[in-house]
Structures are given as structure tokens and as C-alpha cells.
Structure 1
Amino acid sequence: MSSHKKRRGTIDDILRWTRTGLSWGQKVATVVPIPAYGPISQVLIQLIDQIAAARTNKQAAEDVLQHIQVLATIVGSSKEELENRITPLSSADKQTVKSGFLESSLSQDPFDQFYRDLKRLAALSEGLKHPRYLPRWFFNSKDAEIIQEIEIGVSKAQTYFQTRCQVVVQGYLETIDNRLGRLHSAVDRVIVSVDDAAVARKAEDDNKVLETLPHADAGYRASTNELKSGFLEGTRSGLFAELEKWVGGELPNKSICVLSGGAGTGKSTVASELAKRLDTRYGKLGASFFFARGVTDLDTTRVFFPTIAYQLAHSQWTKGTLRQPIIDAARVHLAQGRTQAMEYEAPALLHGPLEFADKKTPIFVVVDALDECTQEAFKLVPEMLRLLMASTDHGPLRIFLTFRPDQLVEYNLQSSQWSNIIHTISIDTFSDDSSRDVAVFIKVRLNKIAHGPDLLRRRPEVADSLAARAQGLFIYARTAMDFLETYPGTLDEGVDVLLSGEEGVALGALDQLYLTVLANAFPPEHLQVLALRARVQSVLACIALLRHPMTPRVLESLTSLTRHPITCGDTDEVLDRLRSVVVFKRDAPDEVFRPMHATFPQFLVDDARCTNDLYLVQPRRQHARLAEACLRALLSLERNMCKLDDAALVASVGDVADLQDRLAEHVPQHVQYACVHWAAHLREACRPGEHPAGKGCFCGNLVELLRSVVSPEKMLRWMETLAFMGRVDGALDALAEARNWLPADARFNALRASTDQGRQILFNHTNDIRDCPHSVYYASVQPAGSSRSSQPLVPLDDYTDMRGNRIVFNHH
């Protein structure tokens, strides 16, 4: 059965149940003092009939019908409660009760207002009727707006009934008890018995709303943070004593705690351990977000606030108070688009729900490595910080932040209106503890290495000597121990290699260690063989520049059509010798590889730190190589990559239950990577003519490849596939970046015009494409103004992307 038919069946079930359930309104007992129950049942039936008949937005229709079903059950239960209390009474008792009703001052105005509100919603639903000859897309956006307004209205009506109408019902119940002299407590409230099936459906609907929020696996438990979780018990005692004071409320009015320190000093490990303790020891963790350079969605603010909201809704600590407010807010928020600018996400998903939190119960949020948020950091990080700190005005949020000393971040923290509630800790303050802790760490690790205990007995000073060279950098100590584990000679020889040479300062010592690791893995004399040097530099470039961790097999597929493909064998050969600095599993082509610490890829691309050109990655040339690979992968796209049948192809993407399975089966991972990241690599790539011909640059084919990718048919295939992936919101920015990359030359005017055509389609129809990816082929030929969602193309010299950034284009 198709998903469309299943959806129709579900709606019919809801319709049948609700109509049957509303039978209570067909006959209202004369003794029940609220005659409005009858008209209320009739208008509810009218409302569900018209929504069920809607020709579009079946998922949204099902959602709102489920809410109406719950509302009908609540209203019916209140009427049944009155009737059940009155019907068994004797005639004399009924007369006594009736007299009590007449003498009471209870007003039925709330029921009359409730009825008028429902009539307004029923009149609104008349707008869902459309002539059969009109195409579905013609009124799709209009219907979505009507259904959203009805859903909001039903939610408000339910709240109104429970807070106003039930007061009247309670008053009548108290009148019955008082008149009949019942010996039981006055009824505090009407207990609403909601059908179990309706409750289950609501829970399922709530979970569906949460899962629709774009969110990343960014918490402290995520696999990407495995290396950050290696806290050694008994270390960092001074620092954690300070943190315990903040957690315990011993620092009055300090809602924000900031930990700063240099690269490799162990800030992320501290953040991971603090999050773990807040979660498992104190039970107060609401959410955590660990930024990670070069990892999709973890090096950007794109999904930061939705992820925080998603975690708060699931947290054992906060879900009792925040889960439902977040779900209700998300339901309304998502109707405006799955991915929105932070200025809309933070107030809707975080500030508003926090108003419902218990102000006396702190909720902790841990945010690590702000400096690893590298996508448009200059603009987006300050905005994120402002909105995050503003959250403390709306609820009992306590925020823990870590970052490297950074002028931009520090300025925004110190100059903000929240500066007086920030408690700042420098990890350098505990440098003595750090040196001692590094020595402890080294001893523990050496005792686990073959012949390590014997080495420590013979050379007890080794741990302190290596700790002195580390100068407080835990990443140095970890990398050094990993190096010794893989060193091909004796353990003594490996230690001597590490202790040889001059001691530098902090990162200088780490850079020297990285050079030692590389030289040991690939001796300079061996790299005189050009083929080996090319393989090594290609893999090092991938370690440094890939936008997301990748498996050797996916990398091989991505580069297979380029002049110099990187095979699984190439990757294995290089990475196996770099296991002290790279997370990698040999002979496992489907396991991802990634740098152990952000300092290693930064080292590889910085000619001031990586002082040996044999290992230095040239970013612009290597980005050009990856951009070429991505553009070639995009040329393999076809229409309907997910192989949907005709009915599913024109339905809402939310109706395709097995969409993720289809993506995995029909859209290879390297193609998915290319769809999302081609423009990021192109933006950083060198341009044609930037380097002399014959100098080994990879940018020569980029213009022609780009010309092919943004040709009308291929560009639409890319947009459709992105929409299947739920990433179409980034397409407008990608085309803008491609346009900006083009050289300022009249020869490229036609190519610029092609990117502009794509931007026009996206600017006018992103919502339609997001809902039904295949509609991109109709949107591309639809005249401007023929759709409710159409808008004139924004002027090219005044374009603001989805993150709120103004982009200025050069006209040539």
C-alpha cells in the first residue's frame, strides 16, 4: 500500500472515531444545565469533515485532526461527568439539583465564547475547499497556512476550555454536592479521562515533531567526543573544586561560567567530565553541545539552538517541565521552515519554553570549543552568544562555555549586558596542577605500554621530563604516548626521539612533536619518490580539509573520477603510520577516520608551524582538488534519486516513511557529501589563472565542471536530491558562494546568470521544494506570481542568506 493510501486510512480512522465519539452531542439530557454542549458537538463534526476533505497537506491534516480528537474527548468527558452525577438521582433529588442550578450565579458565557471560537475555526476551514480541476501545487501553500492557523486555534481552544469552561463545570458539580449534602470532599477539578488510543497518538505525534527538529549528535556522549572523555580520576582537582562552587550556587548571580585556555590544554576533557558529572552525579544536565572543527553541523551554528531544544525535551532533568512547551513551540516554529535563522530559532525554541521552567531549579547547558565553530564565525558566533546568554533572562539556565583565548569571543562576552553574571576561569591559573597531572597521565599510559613499567623503574625521571616538554598540553602528552605505542624501535629509542631537540613554548613543542611523528612515519629521504610524496600529501590534505569525517571507501568513490584518485590502499598505507595523531582502523574501509585533535589539521595548513614543505598542505590547491571531485560526483545525479513511485513522488516528503532507507540505498555517501559540501570547497579553492600553468594545480577543470552542474536540468536534480536529504535550505547560499568564486571577467557572465536563475527558483519556492522535492521541476517553469509563495528575486547587490548574513555581489 502506498504511503498516500496509508495516510488516507489513518485520517478515515480518526474521522470515524471522532464522529462516533461526538454522538454525546446529539442528545443532551434536559437536566444538564449547559445547552451549548449540543451545538459544540455539531461544529466539531463540521470542522473535522472539512479538514478531512482537504486535498493537500495530509500529514498536517492528520496532525490537526488528532488534536481535535483529543479536544472532543475532553469536552465529551466533562459533559459525561455531569450527566453521570445527575442521571442516577431520584426525581426529587433532580428537582433539588435543578433548583440549585437556577439559584447559582454560575455563568455560561465561557461555553458561549468557546462555541464562537470553534465556529470561527469551522469558517476558516471553508478555505480548504478547491475546484478539482486546479493542480495540487496551486493551493498547497494556502492550505498549509490555513491548517496551521486551525491547529494553533484548536490548541488555544483546548487551553481555554480546560481553564475557563471547566471552572463552570466544577461549579455545577459543587452545587450538586452542596444541595444533596454529599459527605465527600469538594471536587477540586474535573478529571478528564482521555481515550488511551488518543493519548498514544498524541505521544507519537509529539515525538514526530521533536524528530523533525534539525539536530546534531553533539552531546558529550557522542562518538565524535570519545577522545575528549578520557578524564583521569584524581587530576584537575583544583579546577574542579572551583567548578563545584559554581555548580553548587556558591557564586551568587553567576549564571554563566567561562573556561578559557590554549589549544591542547584539556578544556574539552574538562567540559566532557563536567557534563558527565552534571548528568550522572547531580542529575542537572539539560543539554550539551561540543563543537568540532571539520565535522558537519558541529562546526557551525546551523542547528545549535534546535539541538539544545531537542536535548532539553529529552533530558530526564527537564522533560517534566520543558518537554511539552518545547514540543508546542516546535510545532508552530516548524510550520515556518525546518531551518531558520538563529534570531527566530532561539526565541521560539528556547526563550519561550524556558518561561515554563521552575525558576528555583537550575538547568545546566555545557557548550564546548566555541573556537571550533568555524563557519562564518565572525558573524555567527557573537550572534549565537548573545541569544544564548539572553536565555538566562527567561529561565533558570546555567551555561558553561569553553574556548581558546579569542579576541572576538572575549570582546562579545565582556561588552555584553550579561557581563556581570559571567564567572571567568583561566585554565592557566591551574598550570601547576596541569604539569603535575600531565606527569600522572604519562605514568599511567607508560605502565600500559609493553616494557613501560621496566622503563619507569630504570629511568624514573622520564615521566617528569616528558611532562616538562609538554608544558601543560595534554594533547602533547596523549600524542607522545600514542607515538610510543606505535614506534617501530625500542621504547627507550622512542623516548629519546621525543626528548631530543630544543624545548619550545606550548604549541611550539606540540608542532615539533607533530613534525617528529610525520618524519618518523615518512622519512624525508623516502618522500623524494614523487609517487609516494603525492599519496602522502593527498591523504594529509583530506585529514586537514574534509568537511566531515569520511571512510576510506567513500573517499575512494569521491575521488574515483579525478586525475589522481585516492584508493583505500593509499589511505590505509598513510593513515596506518599516523595512528598517534589520527583515529583510524586498519583494513576497515568502512570505518571513518578523523584527526584526534583540531591542532593537527591546523598545523598541516599553517606554513609558520609546519616548517617542512614535504608535509605542508596547500589549502587552496587541495580544496580545488576536492571541489573537482564533488562537482564530478554531482554529474551522476538523476531525477528522483530515491526511486519513489508516482504517488509518493508528488506527495509531501513527510509521507515517505522509508525515505532515509531509500537515501542510503540509492544516493551513495560520497554523492551526499558532494551535494552538501561542493560549494564550501569551491569557495576556498584557487581560481583559474591564479597559478602559472603546469604547477600542479587542480583548478583547471573547475569552471567547465561548474558550468555543467548549474545547467538547468542538472541543477534541478541537485536541488531535488538536497530536498530529499533535508538540506535544501543551504542551496541558496551554495549558489551564492559559487557565483562569488567566479573570476571578475565578462567571459563568466553567462555562468553567473545560471547561478542567478537557480537562486531565483530557490528564493521563490524553497518551502514548496522542501515539502515536495519533485516540485522543483514545476517551480522552474512556473511564472512569477502564480504561487502564493512566489516573491520577486531579491536584487543581486542586496542579498541576505538564511543565516542573516548580507552578501554583496560584484556585477560584471
Structure 2
Amino acid sequence: MSSHLVVQTFDVVLDNAPAIFELAGDALSLLPVPGLALVVKGLSGIVDAGARVNDGTRRAFMEEVMALSDTLKKMLRQTRAAVQDAVGDEGAGRALIEDIMRSEALRLRVQTLKSTIDALGDRIKDLKGGPGISGFLKGIIYSSRNEDTLSDMKDRLARAIEIFTLEGQLSIETVLGDAIENAKEIRQALEKAEDEKVLDAIPRAEAGYRCVDELKSGFLDGTREELFAELDSWSTGEFPKQVYFLSGGAGLGKSSIAHRLCTRLDEPTLGASFFFGRGNIESTLPFFSTLAYQLAISQPTLRPYIIHAAREHHKRATMVYHRSLDDTLDTWAGDVSRYLAETISKMSPYRDFIHGKPQMLERLIHRAGGVFIFARIAVKFLDTNRNHPNPQEQFELLLSPVGGAGLSPLDALYLQVLMSAFPREELCRSPSRHNHLQSFLTVIALQLRSLKPDLIELLWPGLSKDDVVWMTDQLRSVLLMDRSGYVLPLHATFGEFLVDQNRCTDPLYRVNSSAGHAKLALGCITAFTFENMSAYLAAANGALLDQFIHYAKSNWDIHLGQAEVNDELKEHIEQLSSAQNALLHEGTGLDRRWCLCEYKAIAQDAVQISLEYAKSAAYSIRWWQIALESPNLRMHTEATLPNIEAEEIVQNTLRIFDIPQAEVVVTSSDIARYEAVHKELVERIRHENAQEAWFN
């Protein structure tokens, strides 16, 4: 029932019912005190029976009844006003009434009144009389006795009403008012939490300019001055245009320019920013949703509209077509040349070297070809090896055509950096070192958002934090550890290079994408232990475990969708189906449907695993929805666990996962298995005294 209909029902009751005991049906359900509907029903029966007594005694009794009726109608008016304030959302009024009815203070008030009404109902049997001549004669014969009985009933009712209306000098209206305010606060908190949950469920990437300041801040002051004058005119001028299209080839510095513009604009002018240099750079899916999320955070006027759209959106797959742009190298060539000349001339010992052999600098400038990222990596490579006794040898390494004649200068540079930091001979002699390097490069290439060394250690067992720090330092020409400690490529093209066999021509350094995603999916799934989840629920935001579980639950399915199938991974997916928990299924939506379809497509024997996961997840999601709304589970060891029927599981599965209806069959043995898993989980939660964390 919507809030408007609830208010209309109140109006009907208040306008057409002379006394509260004449209410019936839906109207009784509007009485916002637990048990009060039963009181009114009992009172109605007593009033009917009181008709057997003469007018004088009955009139005194009815005065008490009408006094109670007036009090209850005042409570109805008070509740109506509160419900009217809640008009707007569907069901808001009914939800407010339900929250009011949870008031313990109101419940205690009505207990005494109800027990009195129940006792008075028993005393009705002592009233003699009834219809017909026989009843009339009995009424006359027992009139004195009836009057005494009804008088006693009146006195007892009066005392109960007094306690109900003014116990402890606190009026029932005040108690109801407090309950209403408390219910409103709860409702507002729930709505705010729900809004935050809706926002948090928006798929997004950590791609705003603040996330990449270290990566993109290598900007040389004094360059691009004409361009920035044009950008300032576009963004803050008197007649700004809606779109500015900045074009150029890869590595020419577009991201650095965009980053500098964002830092200059910032709040409140900057609404949102997205840099395709981090995370899953091949996917355009998070682009628009990330912008929507940032706009909801930065623009209060847009926030409610974005939340509403996100809540109603049905998450349909989006196809984006992107056409490559012609390079405009001539535009940037002068700035790249200036960057190389000015930067290297300030680096000892290269200053004296290029002064004596300027042709080496000219060759490097020519090889850069106007590509800014090549120039920046070359400078970092020289800086990394500045203590080498032979500067010319370092220049020769930069200029050498490694990897074959078909490689681009940037790819040849990437390969040269890897070979210099980790020589082939050493890797061939030490399989363990090669394995560590392969693991590290796999994480760098496939991580869906940048990770810290200690988090990588948790995600990829066998790769220690010290290993990660050391290898990052060895590859500091192409990798960056930002001020927050996250490890990421200096440019997105490094990750692309590592997984492409046509670009990374040496298999010693190449990353196997599908095998790497399988290992990362496995690392995520194995994170979902009871101990980890309990600690995660109690952990402070930003703690290491909080970051680990957040990455795992947000990205396990994406890694799985791109993974090669192996027995170990299938075994853990099966275990995942039998160990459902609340956090695992937050944000279940498009990506999870997609990954299941992909997983089914790449291995026939994975179909049953996917279907079983989908059904068990659908059950678990509904189970937790019910459980978290029930205070009994966290307070009473004998509380009844949620009961979910097969049809509801089927409908939930069809709604959440993109699976044909004919494939979804839920049996009684399935339900028994799901129930057993969740019962065991509840028992363990209680045994570990973890109710506050799990059921809060």
C-alpha cells in the first residue's frame, strides 16, 4: 500500500468511525501499537455484551470506553500526520507504521491494557441476559448483579486506561511521538544507507585524476602554454562549449595534459574525470557508470537523480565502438625533443656525455618519434642506471633494435628494460627467480586495479612483499610505486605489451593471460574463509584485510570470466557454492552474469558448476535479505531460520543470472543442502560470538 493510500485509509477511519471499537479489517492494522488491534477487538465484544445492563451503569462504563476511544483516535491522527510527511516513496507510510510498531515502550504500555481487556472478556460470562423474552427476563432478574459486575469492569478498565495513557507521568501521546521520531530517524538512516548501497553498487573504476596523480604528473612547466590557454577558454570562458576533443597518438602526453587540467579545475567546476591508464584498460564498461558515480558524489543536485536511475536500471550490456585516430606527431614532436634535451642535460653523468656526443641525443630524439611515453621511460631508464661507468653503453641499449626488426621503438624499449633488469642468462639459470618474475609481471599486467605489495602477497601466495618491492625497484623505469604505496605501470601500454605475443617476442617475459587470470581468480576465491570474512566485517575501512576482501569480492568473477579452466579452479568454484555468505554476493549483477556465461562457454563440464553456483547464490542472497531484517537470529539461539521455497529460488536465479528458464530446476535436496550450509554458518557465528559483525 502506498503512502497516499495509507493516508486515505486514515481519513476514512477518522471521518466515519464514531468510536474506535467500531473499526474492522484494514483499519485495525493501522493502529501503530503492537497488540492494540486485539485490544480493540476485545473491547468491541465487551461493549456488545454491556448492552444487557440498564442505561445508568452502562453509560458510566461507556464513558470509560469512549475516553479510551478518543485517546486511540488521537494516536491515529498523530500517526496520520507522520505518515503524511512520509508521502513520496511507494510504501513509505506502511514502512513507517511498521517501524513504530517495533517500539518497546509502546508495547509495554499496551500489555497492561490488553491483559485487563482479556480479563474483562472473561467476566462477560457473568452478565445475564440476551435476545428474546428469555434473555429479557434474565436481564430483569439479574439486573442488580449485572450492574455490580459492569461497575467492577468499569473500575478495572479505568485503572488500565490510566496506566496506558499516563504511566509514570509520561503521556501515551509523548511515547508515541518519541516512537514516531525514532522510526523516522531509523527510516532516514535506512534510506541513506540504501542510497549509499545503490551508489556503491554502481560499477566503477578507480580512474579519477586523484588516483593517477603520481602516474600522470610528469609535466614540464612551460610547455603546452597555447593549448592550456585554449583549454581555459573552453572550460571557464564566457562562452564555453560542451565538448573539447583532444586528439593524438599513444604516449604523446594527452593524459598528462588532461591531469593538469583536472588539478586546475577541481571543485566545484570539475564534475568527473576518467583516465584509461589503469585497471582493465580494455573494457569500456565502467566508463559511463564511473562518471555517474563521481557526479553523484561531486554534484549534490544530481545525486538523487543518479541514485534513482541506478536503482531502476536493468543493467543491460553496452557495446561501445571506438575508431582509432590519426596520429598528429608533428604537434608534439617539439615538446618531446625539448623534454629529452632539458631533462638529460641535467643528469650526471649524461650531461658531459651528450655535450661531447650530441649525435647520441639526436638519435634518441629521432627514435622517440614524438611519443612522450617513450621519452619518459628512456629518461627513467637512464636515471635508474646513472651509476653505470659507461654512459654510452646505456644509450646504445636504448637505441638497440632488440626483439626483431618488426617491433615498434616503444616495445623494443620495454623489452630492453626487462632484459637489463633481469638478464636472460640469470633467468635460465634460476627457475625460481624466473617464476617469481613471471608471477609479478602477471599481477602487473592483469590486476583490475592497482595493488600494494602486501596485498599482492595475499592475493598471490608464494610472491612475498619483499619480492614485489625489489622487482618494482628493478623495473622503476617502467613501473611506479605512488605515494600511497600502490604499484602500477608508468603507462598502460606496458601491460598490453606483456600479454601480446606479437609485441613481447621473448617468452621469458611474456604473460599468459588466461593462466594468469585463473591464478588471480583462485587467489580471490580462497580469500572467502569464515575467519577472513569475520575479520573483514569487523575491520576498519582501509585496513589491509578490508582492501584484500574488497578486491576479491569485487573482481573474482571478472578474473574467472577470462581464466582458463583447470581442475583446481573448478574445485574451488564448487566449494564456493557450498559456502555462501553475505559479502560474496554484494552487487551481484551484469559482470557476474557475464562471467557465468563465459565460464559455461569455455568448458562443457563447467555448465553444471555454473548452474549450481547460480542457484545457491540466488538462495543465499534471499536468505540474507530475510536474516538481516530479523533481530531474532542475532539474539536467540533457537530462532527459526529463513524458509525459502523452490519457486522463489528459481525466480531469483532467473532475475539475477542470465540463464534460460528451462535449465533452472530446484529440488528438495537442493534446498536441504542450502539450508544445512546456512544453518552451519549461523551455528559457527554464534559459537564464535560474531553475531554483531555478521548480523549488524
1:633-652 alignment, distance < 5 Å? 633-634=527-528, 636-638=529-531, 641=534
Give the match for residue 474 of structure 2: 577
1:286 counterpart (271, 274, 278)? 271
Q: Which amino acid aligns with 2:318?
A: L
Q: Which amino acid aligns with 1:514?
A: Y
Q: Which amino acid aligns with 2:367?
A: R
Contact kept? 1:293, 1:299, Cα under 8 Å: no
User: Structure 1 residues 446 and 534 mapped into 2: Cα distance closer, same or farther (>3 Å)?
Assistant: same
1:676 counterpart (551, 554, 559)? 554
Identity across the alignment (%): 28
Q: Work out the CA distance in 1 between the residues paired with 2:524 and 2:190.
A: 38
Contact kept? 1:278, 1:285, Cα under 8 Å: yes
User: Structure 1 residues 742 and 773 mapped into 2: Cα distance closer, same or farther (>3 Å)?
Assistant: farther
TM-score, normalised relative to structure 2: 0.59
Contact kept? 1:449, 1:485, Cα under 8 Å: yes
User: Structure 1 residues 626 and 732 mapped into 2: Cα distance closer, same or farther (>3 Å)?
Assistant: same
Aligned length: 497
Q: Work out the CA distance in 2 between the residues paired with 1:739 and 1:773.
A: 37
Question: 1:229 Cα deviation (Å)?
Answer: 2.2
2:372 counterpart (470, 474, 477)? 474
- Structure number, greater radius of gyration: 2
- Find the residue that maps to 2:272 and give its secondary structure: strand
Contact kept? 2:402, 2:416, Cα under 8 Å: no
Contact kept? 1:607, 1:616, Cα under 8 Å: yes
Contact kept? 1:764, 1:792, Cα under 8 Å: no
1:610 counterpart (459, 483, 504)? 504
Give the match for residue 573 of structure 2: 706
> Which digits, 9 at most, give the CA deviation of each residue in 1:645-672, with x for residues without a partner?
xxxxxxxxxxxxxx6627848x454343
Q: Work out the CA distance in 2 between the residues paired with 1:453 and 1:493.
A: 15
Q: Work out the CA distance in 1 between the residues paired with 2:631 and 2:505.
A: 49
Question: 1:463 Cα deviation (Å)?
Answer: 3.6
Q: Are residue 464 (structure 1) and residue 342 (structure 2) matched?
A: no
Structure 1, unmatched stretches of 5+, are 1-49, 56-113, 137-200, 314-322, 344-378, 383-407, 412-425, 645-658, 688-698
2:409 counterpart (494, 509, 513)? 509
1:630-779 alignment, distance < 5 Å? 630-634=524-528, 636-638=529-531, 641=534, 661=540, 664=543, 667=545, 669-687=547-565, 699-711=566-578, 714=579, 716-717=580-581, 720-722=582-584, 728-730=586-588, 733-734=591-592, 737-738=595-596, 740-742=598-600, 750-761=608-619
Q: Are residue 792 (structure 1) and residue 659 (structure 2) matched?
A: no
Contact kept? 2:619, 2:644, Cα under 8 Å: no
Contact kept? 2:518, 2:564, Cα under 8 Å: yes
Q: Work out the CA distance in 1 between the residues paired with 2:659 and 2:32.
A: 44
2:645 counterpart (761, 783, 793)? 783
Q: Mean Cα displacement is larger for which, 542-551 or 258-267?
A: 258-267
- Find the residue that maps to 1:661 and give its secondary structure: coil
Structure 2, unmatched stretches of 5+, are 1-29, 36-79, 105-185, 665-696
Q: Which structure exhibits the higher relative contact order, with contacts defined as CA atoms closer than 8 Å and separated by 6 or more residues?
A: 1
Q: Are residue 486 (structure 1) and residue 387 (structure 2) matched?
A: no
Q: Work out the CA distance in 2 between the residues paired with 1:505 and 1:753.
A: 49
TM-score, normalised relative to structure 1: 0.52
1:594 counterpart (488, 491, 495)? 488
Contact kept? 1:642, 1:663, Cα under 8 Å: no
> Which digits, 9 at most, give the CA deviation of each residue in 1:475-512, with x for residues without a partner?
10010011111126233321122123389999811001
Contact kept? 1:259, 1:427, Cα under 8 Å: no
1:305-324 alignment, distance < 5 Å? 305-313=291-299, 323=300
- Find the residue that maps to 2:244 and give its secondary structure: strand
- Find the residue that maps to 2:523 and give its secondary structure: helix
Q: Work out the CA distance in 1 between the residues paired with 2:643 and 2:399.
A: 68
Give the match for residue 409 of structure 1: 322
Give the match for residue 517 of structure 2: 623
2:247 counterpart (252, 260, 276)? 260
Q: Which amino acid aligns with 2:588?
A: G
Superposed CA RMSD in Å reads 5.0
Question: 1:447 Cα deviation (Å)?
Answer: 3.5
Give the match for residue 360 of structure 1: none
Q: Work out the CA distance in 1 between the residues paired with 2:436 and 2:236.
A: 53
Contact kept? 2:615, 2:650, Cα under 8 Å: no
Q: Are residue 552 (structure 1) and residue 457 (structure 2) matched?
A: no
User: Structure 1 residues 330 and 205 mapped into 2: Cα distance closer, same or farther (>3 Å)?
Assistant: farther
Contact kept? 1:218, 1:291, Cα under 8 Å: no
Question: 1:517 Cα deviation (Å)?
Answer: 0.4
Q: Mean Cα displacement is larger for which, 503-512 or 546-555?
A: 503-512
> Which digits, 9 at most, give the CA deviation of each residue in 1:245-292, with x for residues without a partner?
54466988x522222332212111121122233349xx7433323344
Contact kept? 2:480, 2:489, Cα under 8 Å: yes
Q: Work out the CA distance in 2 between the residues paired with 1:300 and 1:518.
A: 31
More helix by share: 2
User: Structure 1 residues 807 and 602 mapped into 2: Cα distance closer, same or farther (>3 Å)?
Assistant: farther
Q: Which amino acid aligns with 1:309?
A: L
Q: Work out the CA distance in 1 between the residues paired with 2:458 and 2:307.
A: 39
